[in-house]
Amino acid sequence: MGVVSQPTSASECEAVLARQREHFWSGRTRSLPARQEALGRLRAGIRAREEAILAALSADLGKSPEEAYATEIAFLYQELRFAERHLRKWVRSQRVRRDLLQFPGRGRIHREPFGCCLLLGPWNYPFQLLLAPLVGALAGGNTAILKPSEVAPASEAVLAELIADSFEEGQVAVVRGGVDTSEALLALPFDKIFFTGSTRVGHLVAATAAQRLIPCTLELGGKSPTIVGKSADVSLAARRIVWGKFLNAGQTCVAPDFVLVHHNHYDALLRKLDLEIRARFGEDPRLHPQYGRIIHRGHHDRLTALLQGESPLRGGEADAEDLYLAPTVIAEPTPDSPLMEEEIFGPILPVLPFERTEEVISRLRDQPAPLALYLFSRDAQELSLLRKSLPSGGICVNGTLLHLLSPRLPFGGVGASGMGNYHGKASFEAFTRPRSELRMPARWPWHLTDRRRPLPLAFLRRWLR
Protein backbone atom coordinates (compact mmCIF):
# COMPACT_ATOMS: atom_id res chain seq x y z
CA MET A 1 0.00 0.00 0.00
CA GLY A 2 1.11 3.52 -0.71
CA VAL A 3 2.48 5.87 1.87
CA VAL A 4 0.75 9.20 2.54
CA SER A 5 2.39 11.53 0.08
CA GLN A 6 2.73 15.18 0.93
CA PRO A 7 4.46 16.64 -2.08
CA THR A 8 4.60 20.36 -1.93
CA SER A 9 7.21 21.05 -4.54
CA ALA A 10 6.51 20.98 -8.24
CA SER A 11 9.07 18.21 -8.74
CA GLU A 12 7.40 15.98 -6.15
CA CYS A 13 3.99 16.51 -7.78
CA GLU A 14 5.58 15.67 -11.11
CA ALA A 15 7.04 12.44 -9.71
CA VAL A 16 3.61 11.27 -8.47
CA LEU A 17 2.08 12.02 -11.86
CA ALA A 18 4.89 10.11 -13.60
CA ARG A 19 4.15 7.05 -11.42
CA GLN A 20 0.44 7.37 -12.23
CA ARG A 21 1.13 7.64 -15.94
CA GLU A 22 3.18 4.45 -15.81
CA HIS A 23 0.41 2.73 -13.85
CA PHE A 24 -2.25 3.86 -16.32
CA TRP A 25 -0.33 2.69 -19.38
CA SER A 26 0.38 -0.65 -17.73
CA GLY A 27 -3.33 -1.24 -18.38
CA ARG A 28 -4.04 -2.25 -14.78
CA THR A 29 -6.91 0.18 -14.28
CA ARG A 30 -8.94 -0.81 -17.30
CA SER A 31 -10.53 -4.23 -16.89
CA LEU A 32 -13.99 -4.47 -15.36
CA PRO A 33 -12.75 -6.54 -12.37
CA ALA A 34 -9.98 -3.97 -11.73
CA ARG A 35 -12.50 -1.13 -11.69
CA GLN A 36 -14.86 -3.07 -9.44
CA GLU A 37 -12.01 -3.88 -7.10
CA ALA A 38 -11.02 -0.20 -6.93
CA LEU A 39 -14.59 0.81 -6.04
CA GLY A 40 -14.64 -1.93 -3.39
CA ARG A 41 -11.40 -0.60 -1.91
CA LEU A 42 -12.83 2.88 -1.71
CA ARG A 43 -15.97 1.58 0.01
CA ALA A 44 -13.90 -0.46 2.50
CA GLY A 45 -11.65 2.55 3.19
CA ILE A 46 -14.64 4.73 4.00
CA ARG A 47 -16.33 1.99 6.04
CA ALA A 48 -13.20 1.50 8.14
CA ARG A 49 -12.95 5.22 8.89
CA GLU A 50 -16.54 6.26 9.48
CA GLU A 51 -15.75 7.41 13.02
CA ALA A 52 -12.64 9.32 11.91
CA ILE A 53 -14.64 11.03 9.14
CA LEU A 54 -17.38 12.09 11.56
CA ALA A 55 -14.77 13.39 14.03
CA ALA A 56 -12.97 15.36 11.28
CA LEU A 57 -16.21 16.98 10.09
CA SER A 58 -17.05 17.91 13.65
CA ALA A 59 -13.58 19.46 14.11
CA ASP A 60 -13.58 21.35 10.80
CA LEU A 61 -17.21 22.47 10.52
CA GLY A 62 -18.99 21.58 13.76
CA LYS A 63 -21.17 19.16 11.79
CA SER A 64 -23.34 16.87 13.88
CA PRO A 65 -22.75 13.13 13.32
CA GLU A 66 -26.26 12.75 11.88
CA GLU A 67 -25.77 15.53 9.32
CA ALA A 68 -22.22 14.40 8.50
CA TYR A 69 -23.27 10.79 7.98
CA ALA A 70 -26.27 11.65 5.81
CA THR A 71 -24.62 14.28 3.60
CA GLU A 72 -21.15 12.81 3.22
CA ILE A 73 -20.86 9.10 4.06
CA ALA A 74 -24.32 7.84 3.04
CA PHE A 75 -24.15 9.94 -0.12
CA LEU A 76 -20.87 8.24 -1.06
CA TYR A 77 -22.24 4.75 -0.36
CA GLN A 78 -25.14 5.53 -2.65
CA GLU A 79 -22.83 6.71 -5.46
CA LEU A 80 -20.63 3.63 -5.01
CA ARG A 81 -23.60 1.26 -4.99
CA PHE A 82 -25.05 2.82 -8.13
CA ALA A 83 -21.73 2.63 -9.99
CA GLU A 84 -21.05 -0.96 -8.88
CA ARG A 85 -24.54 -2.01 -9.98
CA HIS A 86 -24.37 -0.42 -13.42
CA LEU A 87 -20.68 -0.52 -14.33
CA ARG A 88 -20.88 -3.70 -16.41
CA LYS A 89 -23.44 -2.01 -18.66
CA TRP A 90 -21.61 1.33 -18.82
CA VAL A 91 -18.25 -0.10 -19.90
CA ARG A 92 -19.71 -2.22 -22.69
CA SER A 93 -18.79 -0.84 -26.09
CA GLN A 94 -21.75 0.00 -28.27
CA ARG A 95 -22.34 -1.31 -31.77
CA VAL A 96 -23.70 1.18 -34.28
CA ARG A 97 -25.71 0.56 -37.45
CA ARG A 98 -23.79 -0.14 -40.64
CA ASP A 99 -23.67 2.68 -43.18
CA LEU A 100 -23.57 2.13 -46.92
CA LEU A 101 -20.27 3.93 -47.41
CA GLN A 102 -18.43 1.84 -44.83
CA PHE A 103 -20.06 -1.44 -45.80
CA PRO A 104 -19.13 -4.14 -44.85
CA GLY A 105 -17.27 -2.52 -41.93
CA ARG A 106 -18.66 -2.40 -38.43
CA GLY A 107 -18.67 0.65 -36.20
CA ARG A 108 -18.37 0.61 -32.41
CA ILE A 109 -18.13 3.26 -29.71
CA HIS A 110 -15.85 2.54 -26.76
CA ARG A 111 -15.97 4.62 -23.57
CA GLU A 112 -12.28 5.43 -23.16
CA PRO A 113 -10.72 6.58 -19.86
CA PHE A 114 -8.92 9.93 -20.07
CA GLY A 115 -5.86 8.64 -18.19
CA CYS A 116 -4.40 10.62 -15.28
CA CYS A 117 -6.94 12.91 -13.64
CA LEU A 118 -6.55 15.80 -11.23
CA LEU A 119 -9.37 16.32 -8.72
CA LEU A 120 -9.37 19.61 -6.79
CA GLY A 121 -11.86 19.90 -3.91
CA PRO A 122 -13.35 22.59 -1.66
CA TRP A 123 -13.79 22.54 2.12
CA ASN A 124 -17.56 22.61 2.67
CA TYR A 125 -18.28 18.91 2.03
CA PRO A 126 -14.62 17.86 1.99
CA PHE A 127 -15.20 14.09 1.65
CA GLN A 128 -18.05 13.70 -0.79
CA LEU A 129 -16.91 16.52 -3.10
CA LEU A 130 -13.61 14.72 -3.74
CA LEU A 131 -14.63 11.09 -3.35
CA ALA A 132 -17.82 11.24 -5.47
CA PRO A 133 -15.78 12.43 -8.49
CA LEU A 134 -13.25 9.71 -7.59
CA VAL A 135 -16.02 7.10 -7.97
CA GLY A 136 -16.45 8.36 -11.56
CA ALA A 137 -12.68 8.41 -12.19
CA LEU A 138 -12.21 4.81 -10.95
CA ALA A 139 -15.35 3.52 -12.70
CA GLY A 140 -13.96 5.11 -15.87
CA GLY A 141 -10.62 3.25 -15.51
CA ASN A 142 -8.43 6.28 -14.72
CA THR A 143 -5.80 7.10 -12.14
CA ALA A 144 -6.32 10.18 -9.95
CA ILE A 145 -4.46 12.71 -7.86
CA LEU A 146 -6.69 14.32 -5.23
CA LYS A 147 -5.96 17.77 -3.78
CA PRO A 148 -8.24 18.38 -0.79
CA SER A 149 -8.81 21.88 0.49
CA GLU A 150 -6.15 22.95 2.96
CA VAL A 151 -8.85 24.93 4.78
CA ALA A 152 -10.43 21.80 6.33
CA PRO A 153 -7.24 20.27 7.83
CA ALA A 154 -8.81 17.45 9.89
CA SER A 155 -10.71 16.18 6.85
CA GLU A 156 -7.62 16.59 4.67
CA ALA A 157 -5.62 14.36 7.05
CA VAL A 158 -8.29 11.61 7.12
CA LEU A 159 -8.62 11.72 3.33
CA ALA A 160 -4.86 11.35 2.90
CA GLU A 161 -4.77 8.37 5.25
CA LEU A 162 -7.84 6.74 3.70
CA ILE A 163 -6.43 6.93 0.19
CA ALA A 164 -2.89 5.92 1.16
CA ASP A 165 -4.18 2.84 2.99
CA SER A 166 -6.55 1.83 0.21
CA PHE A 167 -4.61 2.40 -3.04
CA GLU A 168 -1.16 2.22 -4.55
CA GLU A 169 0.14 5.74 -5.12
CA GLY A 170 0.29 4.95 -8.85
CA GLN A 171 -3.48 4.53 -8.91
CA VAL A 172 -4.79 7.14 -6.46
CA ALA A 173 -2.80 9.63 -4.38
CA VAL A 174 -3.62 12.56 -2.15
CA VAL A 175 -1.40 15.59 -2.49
CA ARG A 176 -1.60 17.96 0.45
CA GLY A 177 -0.84 21.64 0.41
CA GLY A 178 -2.21 25.10 -0.25
CA VAL A 179 -2.65 27.30 -3.29
CA ASP A 180 1.02 26.84 -4.30
CA THR A 181 0.49 23.09 -4.49
CA SER A 182 -2.71 23.56 -6.54
CA GLU A 183 -0.80 25.81 -8.92
CA ALA A 184 2.07 23.32 -9.19
CA LEU A 185 -0.41 20.56 -9.99
CA LEU A 186 -2.26 22.66 -12.54
CA ALA A 187 1.00 23.24 -14.40
CA LEU A 188 1.33 19.49 -15.06
CA PRO A 189 0.09 17.65 -18.17
CA PHE A 190 -2.95 15.86 -16.70
CA ASP A 191 -5.43 14.26 -19.08
CA LYS A 192 -8.49 15.58 -17.25
CA ILE A 193 -9.17 18.14 -14.52
CA PHE A 194 -12.21 18.02 -12.25
CA PHE A 195 -12.49 21.17 -10.15
CA THR A 196 -15.03 21.97 -7.43
CA GLY A 197 -14.81 25.40 -5.86
CA SER A 198 -15.46 29.08 -6.37
CA THR A 199 -16.21 30.73 -9.70
CA ARG A 200 -13.15 32.96 -9.19
CA VAL A 201 -10.72 30.02 -8.96
CA GLY A 202 -12.73 28.17 -11.63
CA HIS A 203 -11.71 30.90 -14.09
CA LEU A 204 -8.04 30.37 -13.21
CA VAL A 205 -8.33 26.59 -13.53
CA ALA A 206 -10.07 26.86 -16.92
CA ALA A 207 -7.48 29.34 -18.20
CA THR A 208 -4.59 27.10 -17.12
CA ALA A 209 -6.23 23.98 -18.57
CA ALA A 210 -6.83 25.82 -21.85
CA GLN A 211 -3.09 26.36 -22.31
CA ARG A 212 -2.63 22.59 -22.63
CA LEU A 213 -6.12 21.91 -23.99
CA ILE A 214 -6.89 19.70 -21.01
CA PRO A 215 -10.61 18.89 -20.77
CA CYS A 216 -12.09 20.05 -17.50
CA THR A 217 -15.27 19.80 -15.51
CA LEU A 218 -15.98 22.84 -13.37
CA GLU A 219 -18.39 22.56 -10.44
CA LEU A 220 -18.70 26.14 -9.22
CA GLY A 221 -21.00 28.26 -7.08
CA GLY A 222 -23.35 31.19 -7.49
CA LYS A 223 -26.48 32.74 -6.08
CA SER A 224 -29.25 30.14 -6.24
CA PRO A 225 -32.60 31.97 -6.13
CA THR A 226 -35.69 30.62 -4.39
CA ILE A 227 -39.03 31.82 -5.73
CA VAL A 228 -42.15 31.43 -3.63
CA GLY A 229 -45.08 32.02 -5.99
CA LYS A 230 -48.64 33.16 -5.41
CA SER A 231 -50.00 29.60 -5.33
CA ALA A 232 -47.27 28.20 -3.03
CA ASP A 233 -47.89 26.36 0.23
CA VAL A 234 -46.08 28.85 2.45
CA SER A 235 -45.63 26.60 5.51
CA LEU A 236 -44.08 23.88 3.37
CA ALA A 237 -41.86 26.43 1.60
CA ALA A 238 -40.63 27.84 4.93
CA ARG A 239 -39.84 24.37 6.28
CA ARG A 240 -37.89 23.28 3.21
CA ILE A 241 -36.08 26.59 2.75
CA VAL A 242 -34.88 26.56 6.36
CA TRP A 243 -33.62 22.98 5.99
CA GLY A 244 -31.72 23.70 2.75
CA LYS A 245 -30.40 27.08 3.81
CA PHE A 246 -29.09 26.33 7.28
CA LEU A 247 -27.69 22.84 6.67
CA ASN A 248 -23.92 23.07 7.23
CA ALA A 249 -24.55 26.64 8.47
CA GLY A 250 -25.42 27.77 4.96
CA GLN A 251 -22.07 26.64 3.51
CA THR A 252 -23.60 24.56 0.72
CA CYS A 253 -22.98 25.40 -2.95
CA VAL A 254 -26.66 24.91 -3.83
CA ALA A 255 -28.12 26.47 -0.67
CA PRO A 256 -30.98 28.89 -1.38
CA ASP A 257 -29.06 32.18 -1.58
CA PHE A 258 -32.06 34.54 -1.36
CA VAL A 259 -35.84 34.32 -1.52
CA LEU A 260 -38.23 36.20 -3.79
CA VAL A 261 -41.76 35.79 -2.45
CA HIS A 262 -45.10 36.90 -3.88
CA HIS A 263 -46.15 40.01 -1.94
CA ASN A 264 -49.37 38.30 -0.75
CA HIS A 265 -47.22 35.82 1.22
CA TYR A 266 -44.39 38.12 2.25
CA ASP A 267 -45.42 38.64 5.89
CA ALA A 268 -46.59 35.07 6.32
CA LEU A 269 -43.32 33.67 4.96
CA LEU A 270 -41.19 35.85 7.24
CA ARG A 271 -43.25 34.71 10.23
CA LYS A 272 -43.02 31.06 9.25
CA LEU A 273 -39.29 31.20 8.57
CA ASP A 274 -38.83 32.53 12.08
CA LEU A 275 -41.06 29.80 13.59
CA GLU A 276 -39.30 27.10 11.57
CA ILE A 277 -35.82 28.25 12.65
CA ARG A 278 -36.96 28.14 16.29
CA ALA A 279 -38.57 24.73 15.82
CA ARG A 280 -35.42 23.32 14.22
CA PHE A 281 -32.64 24.94 16.25
CA GLY A 282 -34.36 26.10 19.47
CA GLU A 283 -34.26 29.55 21.04
CA ASP A 284 -30.45 29.62 21.03
CA PRO A 285 -29.09 27.81 17.94
CA ARG A 286 -25.55 28.17 19.35
CA LEU A 287 -26.41 25.45 21.86
CA HIS A 288 -28.20 23.21 19.40
CA PRO A 289 -26.22 20.09 18.44
CA GLN A 290 -27.54 20.17 14.85
CA TYR A 291 -26.29 23.67 14.09
CA GLY A 292 -22.80 23.89 12.55
CA ARG A 293 -20.00 26.44 12.55
CA ILE A 294 -18.31 28.70 10.00
CA ILE A 295 -15.15 27.18 8.55
CA HIS A 296 -12.64 29.81 9.67
CA ARG A 297 -12.14 33.34 10.94
CA GLY A 298 -11.67 34.88 7.48
CA HIS A 299 -14.96 33.49 6.23
CA HIS A 300 -16.68 34.51 9.48
CA ASP A 301 -15.38 38.08 9.06
CA ARG A 302 -16.62 38.14 5.45
CA LEU A 303 -20.09 37.04 6.51
CA THR A 304 -20.40 39.47 9.41
CA ALA A 305 -19.22 42.28 7.11
CA LEU A 306 -22.14 41.42 4.80
CA LEU A 307 -24.47 42.24 7.70
CA GLN A 308 -23.12 45.78 8.18
CA GLY A 309 -25.91 48.32 7.77
CA GLU A 310 -28.63 45.63 7.78
CA SER A 311 -31.26 45.08 10.47
CA PRO A 312 -31.86 41.34 10.71
CA LEU A 313 -35.43 40.32 11.27
CA ARG A 314 -34.04 37.36 13.17
CA GLY A 315 -30.52 36.20 14.04
CA GLY A 316 -27.44 38.27 13.31
CA GLU A 317 -25.72 37.22 16.58
CA ALA A 318 -22.07 36.35 15.91
CA ASP A 319 -19.15 35.05 17.98
CA ALA A 320 -15.86 35.05 16.08
CA GLU A 321 -14.04 32.96 18.74
CA ASP A 322 -16.65 30.20 18.45
CA LEU A 323 -17.00 30.72 14.66
CA TYR A 324 -20.72 31.03 15.31
CA LEU A 325 -23.17 32.98 13.20
CA ALA A 326 -26.87 32.58 14.03
CA PRO A 327 -29.41 31.61 11.35
CA THR A 328 -30.20 35.09 10.06
CA VAL A 329 -33.12 36.42 8.03
CA ILE A 330 -32.92 39.86 6.40
CA ALA A 331 -36.19 41.30 5.18
CA GLU A 332 -35.56 43.44 2.10
CA PRO A 333 -31.83 44.18 2.25
CA THR A 334 -30.73 47.69 1.32
CA PRO A 335 -30.81 48.16 -2.49
CA ASP A 336 -27.01 48.33 -2.91
CA SER A 337 -26.30 45.60 -0.31
CA PRO A 338 -23.43 43.22 -1.18
CA LEU A 339 -25.82 40.50 0.05
CA MET A 340 -27.51 40.75 -3.33
CA GLU A 341 -24.23 40.92 -5.29
CA GLU A 342 -21.95 38.08 -4.15
CA GLU A 343 -22.64 34.45 -3.26
CA ILE A 344 -23.48 34.48 0.47
CA PHE A 345 -22.29 30.94 1.31
CA GLY A 346 -23.31 31.27 4.97
CA PRO A 347 -26.41 31.34 7.22
CA ILE A 348 -27.85 34.65 6.01
CA LEU A 349 -31.12 34.63 4.09
CA PRO A 350 -32.36 37.81 2.36
CA VAL A 351 -36.10 37.80 1.58
CA LEU A 352 -37.64 40.21 -0.95
CA PRO A 353 -41.25 40.58 -2.14
CA PHE A 354 -42.36 40.68 -5.78
CA GLU A 355 -45.68 41.43 -7.45
CA ARG A 356 -45.55 39.80 -10.89
CA THR A 357 -43.69 36.75 -12.19
CA GLU A 358 -42.38 38.83 -15.14
CA GLU A 359 -40.68 41.10 -12.61
CA VAL A 360 -38.80 38.08 -11.23
CA ILE A 361 -37.78 37.02 -14.71
CA SER A 362 -36.42 40.41 -15.72
CA ARG A 363 -34.57 40.74 -12.40
CA LEU A 364 -32.90 37.31 -12.55
CA ARG A 365 -32.23 37.04 -16.24
CA ASP A 366 -29.43 39.61 -16.07
CA GLN A 367 -27.67 37.72 -13.27
CA PRO A 368 -24.98 35.06 -13.86
CA ALA A 369 -26.62 31.63 -14.25
CA PRO A 370 -26.94 29.99 -10.81
CA LEU A 371 -26.22 26.38 -9.85
CA ALA A 372 -29.82 25.76 -8.74
CA LEU A 373 -33.24 27.32 -9.06
CA TYR A 374 -35.90 26.62 -6.42
CA LEU A 375 -39.55 27.15 -7.25
CA PHE A 376 -42.38 26.85 -4.74
CA SER A 377 -45.66 26.90 -6.62
CA ARG A 378 -48.75 24.82 -7.39
CA ASP A 379 -49.38 26.59 -10.69
CA ALA A 380 -48.14 24.47 -13.60
CA GLN A 381 -48.16 27.44 -15.97
CA GLU A 382 -46.06 29.59 -13.67
CA LEU A 383 -43.60 26.73 -13.16
CA SER A 384 -43.30 26.17 -16.88
CA LEU A 385 -42.80 29.89 -17.58
CA LEU A 386 -40.07 30.22 -14.93
CA ARG A 387 -38.31 27.05 -16.08
CA LYS A 388 -38.21 28.23 -19.68
CA SER A 389 -37.30 31.82 -18.84
CA LEU A 390 -34.48 31.38 -16.33
CA PRO A 391 -31.23 29.44 -16.81
CA SER A 392 -29.73 27.37 -13.98
CA GLY A 393 -27.67 24.20 -13.50
CA GLY A 394 -30.63 22.30 -12.01
CA ILE A 395 -34.16 22.93 -10.76
CA CYS A 396 -35.97 21.67 -7.70
CA VAL A 397 -39.70 22.31 -7.42
CA ASN A 398 -41.30 22.55 -3.98
CA GLY A 399 -38.06 21.46 -2.32
CA THR A 400 -34.43 22.46 -1.83
CA LEU A 401 -31.13 20.57 -2.43
CA LEU A 402 -32.91 17.24 -3.01
CA HIS A 403 -32.24 17.13 -6.75
CA LEU A 404 -28.53 16.65 -6.16
CA LEU A 405 -29.02 13.57 -4.02
CA SER A 406 -30.21 11.32 -6.84
CA PRO A 407 -27.63 9.36 -8.86
CA ARG A 408 -30.19 9.35 -11.67
CA LEU A 409 -30.08 13.16 -12.06
CA PRO A 410 -26.88 14.63 -13.54
CA PHE A 411 -25.64 17.46 -11.32
CA GLY A 412 -23.73 20.51 -12.54
CA GLY A 413 -23.82 24.19 -13.36
CA VAL A 414 -24.08 26.32 -16.47
CA GLY A 415 -22.16 29.48 -17.41
CA ALA A 416 -20.77 31.08 -14.25
CA SER A 417 -21.89 28.13 -12.08
CA GLY A 418 -19.82 25.62 -14.01
CA MET A 419 -19.61 23.26 -16.94
CA GLY A 420 -20.08 19.51 -17.09
CA ASN A 421 -22.07 17.17 -14.87
CA TYR A 422 -21.55 14.26 -12.53
CA HIS A 423 -23.32 11.86 -10.11
CA GLY A 424 -24.38 8.37 -11.17
CA LYS A 425 -23.81 7.63 -14.84
CA ALA A 426 -22.88 11.28 -15.48
CA SER A 427 -19.77 10.71 -13.28
CA PHE A 428 -18.70 7.79 -15.46
CA GLU A 429 -19.27 9.93 -18.55
CA ALA A 430 -17.35 12.86 -17.04
CA PHE A 431 -14.26 10.64 -16.77
CA THR A 432 -14.51 8.80 -20.09
CA ARG A 433 -14.90 9.89 -23.67
CA PRO A 434 -16.48 8.20 -26.66
CA ARG A 435 -13.85 6.67 -28.94
CA SER A 436 -15.11 5.55 -32.31
CA GLU A 437 -13.77 2.51 -34.07
CA LEU A 438 -14.55 1.34 -37.57
CA ARG A 439 -13.41 -2.19 -38.32
CA MET A 440 -13.22 -3.27 -41.96
CA PRO A 441 -12.93 -7.00 -42.66
CA ALA A 442 -9.34 -8.03 -43.38
CA ARG A 443 -10.26 -10.29 -46.29
CA TRP A 444 -13.05 -8.49 -48.06
CA PRO A 445 -11.95 -8.25 -51.68
CA TRP A 446 -13.22 -4.89 -52.75
CA HIS A 447 -14.52 -1.58 -51.44
CA LEU A 448 -15.67 1.58 -53.15
CA THR A 449 -12.53 3.45 -52.06
CA ASP A 450 -10.35 0.79 -53.76
CA ARG A 451 -11.30 2.26 -57.14
CA ARG A 452 -8.38 4.24 -58.51
CA ARG A 453 -10.53 6.53 -60.56
CA PRO A 454 -13.22 8.72 -59.00
CA LEU A 455 -16.82 7.79 -59.37
CA PRO A 456 -18.65 9.91 -61.92
CA LEU A 457 -20.01 13.15 -60.47
CA ALA A 458 -23.53 12.35 -61.68
CA PHE A 459 -23.41 9.04 -59.77
CA LEU A 460 -22.12 10.75 -56.58
CA ARG A 461 -24.83 13.39 -56.85
CA ARG A 462 -27.49 10.77 -57.25
CA TRP A 463 -26.40 8.40 -54.45
CA LEU A 464 -24.75 10.71 -51.93
CA ARG A 465 -27.37 13.36 -51.36
From the list 274, 198, 296, 280, the residue with the least C-alpha distance to 247 is 280
Contact track, ligand NAD, 272-311, x by CB under 6 A: ----------------------------------------
Quote the least distance from Cβ 371 to ligand NAD, whole Å.
5
Tell me if 424 sits within 8 A of 103, measured CB to CB: no
Left, alpha or beta for 420 (phi > 0: left; psi -120 to 50: alpha)? left
121 belongs to the binding site for ligand NAD (CB under 6 A): yes
162 to each of 71, 75, 157, 258, 407, how far by Cα in Å? 18, 17, 9, 37, 24
Residues from 333 through 392 that contact ligand NAD (CB under 6 A): 343, 345, 371
Nearest-angstrom CA–CA distance, 443 and 68: 61
Q: Near ligand NAD by CB under 6 A, which window of 108-116, 123-131, 424-432, 441-449?
A: 123-131
Is the CB of 205 or the CB of 383 nearer to ligand NAD? Answer: 205
- Footprint (CB under 6 A) of ligand NAD, residues 390-419: 413, 418
Q: Please report whether residue 91 would count as binding ligand NAD according to CB under 6 A.
A: no
Report the chain's terminal Cα–Cα distance, integer Å: 60
Backbone CA torsion sign across 286, 290, 295, 300: negative
16 binds ligand NAD (CB under 6 A): no
Q: Which is nearer to ligand NAD, 120 or 135 (CB)?
A: 120
Distance CA 198, CA 204 (A): 10
User: 143 has which bridge partners?
Assistant: 116
Peptide linkage before 104 cis (omega within 30 of 0) = yes
Q: Which is nearer to ligand NAD, 87 or 349 (CB)?
A: 349
Question: Whose Cβ is closer to ligand NAD: residue 197's or residue 424's?
Answer: 197
Question: Which position among 67, 219, 382, 429 bears the catalytic label?
Answer: 219
Q: Of 156, 253, 276, 429, which one is the catalytic site residue?
A: 253
Least distance from ligand NAD to the Cβ atom of residue 216, Å: 12
DSSP result, 353-401:
EES-HHHHHHHHHTSPPPSEEEEE-S-HHHHHHHHHHS--SEEEESSSS
DSSP class of 411: B
Q: Least distance to ligand NAD from the beta carbon of 388, Å?
A: 23
Q: Which stretch binds ligand NAD (CB under 6 A): 43-51, 114-122, 157-165, 304-312?
A: 114-122
Pick from 41, 49, 147, 262: which binds ligand NAD (CB under 6 A)?
147
Residues 198-237 that bind ligand NAD (CB under 6 A): 198, 201, 204, 219-221
Do β-strands 94-95 and 106-113 pair in parallel, antiparallel, or remain unpaired? Answer: antiparallel
Contact call for residues 435 and 108 (beta carbons, < 8 A): no
Of these, 20, 128, 143, 149, which contacts ligand NAD (CB under 6 A)?
Answer: 149
- How many whole angstroms separate alpha carbon 34 and alpha carbon 406? 26
CA angle centred on 371, ends 225 and 67, rounded to 5°: 90
Question: Least distance in Å: CB of 48 to ligand NAD?
Answer: 25
Of the residues 179, 210, 438, 440, which one makes contact with ligand NAD according to CB under 6 A: 179
Task: Rule CB under 6 A: say whether 129 interacts with ligand NAD.
Answer: yes
DSSP per-residue string spanning 292-361 = ---S-HHHHHHHHHHTTT---SB---EETTTTEE--EEEES--TT-GGGTS---SSEEEEEEES-HHHHH
Residues 429-448 within binding reach of ligand NAD (CB under 6 A): none
- Binding to ligand NAD in span 235-274, by CB under 6 A: 253
Active site residue 396: no
Q: Which residue's CB atom is positioned nearest to ligand NAD?
A: 221
What secondary structure letter does DSSP report for 150?
T
- Out of 62, 113, 122, 347, point to the residue binding ligand NAD (CB under 6 A): 122
Q: Which residues are catalytic?
A: 219, 253
Provide the binding-site residues for ligand NAD, judged by CB under 6 A. Answer: 120-124, 129, 147, 149-151, 179, 182-183, 186, 196-198, 201, 204, 219-221, 253, 343, 345, 371, 413, 418
